[in-house]
């Protein structure tokens, strides 16, 4: 089993959604040493969307209604553009387009209640920021189906259980593992490709939380560990972890292999490529994590 994670720049526009779908399908059920009969995809929000969602929430709390309305409208246009460009089958286009509209109406209701209260709580912020991944996940699953795959969008709020430290919630691994086994394994057994929202999670009682900025890497590792995946692949726009920041050190080169300890040190000390907490779940299960361009 392979878990792929794609970040926001990998799905920055319609064409890139198509590229991601092609990558996923190129590796699904391919002959080779690795068992790729089962594929799981974890996806971030489209690039810039999480920041926009937060700006909208702040504007709402400050009573600047026109700002959050404009943000909602911009998000609607950007996501519907992808739907229009990528989904050629009428039924799927209408369904997913409708879903995007519904999700953004719901976002607007959240913004309105933040405006009404005049306060942005950490809990409210997590509810709002979760929309980026909810949107991208529904669209990517549909783009995969458009290409003939059997893919299903799944919200990680049903899978990843955390405490209620909103904004940087701590995963509860045992509860999460149980849900992943119960809900994702049957989909995989039926030959489906689950497409799961990165970054978002929920408390035991179902209140939406997030894993912290850049947290989709961690989502992929938690999901890989909970499903006993063979490998977790983090797709990025660099070839891997470099010996130094290439902007500062032009001779920096890509490292072929790092121990978990080395990788987590580098992440901790600021290598942008991985979220620092990511390594933990895969270390515990000894699952190799690859960074691919
Ligand atoms: N969309 C979230 C963020 O911008 C999570 C992620 O991209 O990993 O922080
Ligand atoms: Mg990232």
Q: What is the pLDDT of residues 202-213, one digit of tens each?
A: 999 999 999 999
Residue 76, SS3?
helix
Helices 65-86 and 14-27 meet at what angle, rounded to 10? 50
Most ligand 1 atoms within 8 A of CB, residue of 213, 223, 267 to mutate? 213
Q: What is the pLDDT of residue 276?
A: 67
Contact in structure between 161 and 39 (CB atoms under 8 Å)? no
Residue 132 CA: nearest ligand 1 atom is: 1
Nearest-CA residue for atom 5 of ligand 1: 214
Whole-prediction pTM value? 0.96
User: What distance in angstroms lies between residue 255's CA and the mean position of ligand 1's atoms?
Assistant: 25
48: left (phi over 0), alpha (psi -120 to 50) or beta: left
Residue 33 CA to residue 202 CA, distance in Å, equals 36
Residues lining ligand 1, judged by CB closer than 6 Å? 7-8, 44-45, 50, 132, 198-199, 213-216
> What is the reported pLDDT for 288?
94
- From 4, 12, 45, give the residue whose CB has the most ligand 1 atoms within 8 Å, as the site to mutate: 45
Q: Which residues contact 5 (CB under 8 A, 6 or more apart)?
A: 41, 42, 43, 44, 198, 216, 217, 219, 220, 232, 233, 234, 235
In the chain, which stretches have pLDDT less than 70?
A: 276
**CA distance linking residue 115 with residue 62, whole number of Å:** 7
Segment 54-92, tens digit of pLDDT: 999 999 999 999 999 999 999 999 999 999 999 999 999
105 with 165: CB under 8 angstroms?
no
Separation of alpha carbons 53 and 78, rounded Å: 13
Between the CA of 19 and the centroid of ligand 2 the distance, in Å, is 18
Specify the length of the chain in residues. 293
- Tell me, in angstroms, the distance from the centre of ligand 1 to residue 90's CA: 31
Span from the CA of 260 to the centroid of ligand 2 (angstroms): 18
- The reported pLDDT for the residue numbered 210 is 98
* Ligand 1 atom showing the smallest separation from residue 45 Cα: 1
């Amino acid at each position: 089993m392979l878990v792929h994670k794609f970040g926001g720049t990998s799905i920055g526009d319609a064409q890139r959604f198509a590229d991601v779908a092609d990558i996923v399908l190129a590796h699904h059920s391919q002959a080779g040493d690795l068992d790729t009969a089962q594929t799981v995809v974890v996806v971030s929000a489209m690039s810039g969307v999480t920041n926009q969602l937060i700006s909208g929430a702040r504007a709402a709390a400050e009573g600047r209604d026109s700002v959050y309305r404009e943000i909602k409208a911009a998000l609607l246009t950007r996501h519907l553009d992808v739907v229009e460009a990528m989904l050629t089958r009428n039924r799927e286009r209408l369904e997913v387009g409708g879903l995007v509209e519904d999700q953004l109406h719901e976002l607007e209701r959240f913004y309105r209640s933040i405006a009404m209260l005049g306060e942005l709580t950490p809990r409210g912020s997590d509810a709002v920021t979760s929309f980026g991944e909810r949107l991208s996940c529904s669209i990517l699953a549909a783009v995969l189906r458009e290409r003939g795959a059997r893919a299903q969008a799944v919200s990680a709020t049903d899978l990843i259980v955390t405490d209620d430290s909103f904004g940087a919630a701590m995963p509860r691994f045992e509860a999460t593992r149980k849900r992943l086994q119960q809900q994702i394994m049957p989909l995989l057994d039926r030959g489906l490709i689950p497409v799961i929202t990165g970054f978002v999670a929920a408390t035991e009682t179902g209140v939406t939380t997030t894993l912290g900025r850049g947290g989709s890497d961690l989502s992929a590792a938690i999901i890989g560990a909970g499903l006993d995946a063979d490998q977790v692949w983090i797709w990025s726009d660099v070839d891997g972890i470099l010996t130094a920041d290439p902007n500062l050190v032009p001779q920096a080169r890509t490292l072929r292999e790092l121990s978990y300890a080395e990788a987590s040190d580098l992440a901790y000390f600021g290598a942008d490529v991985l979220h620092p907490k990511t390594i933990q779940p895969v270390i515990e299960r000894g699952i190799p994590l690859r960074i691919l361009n």
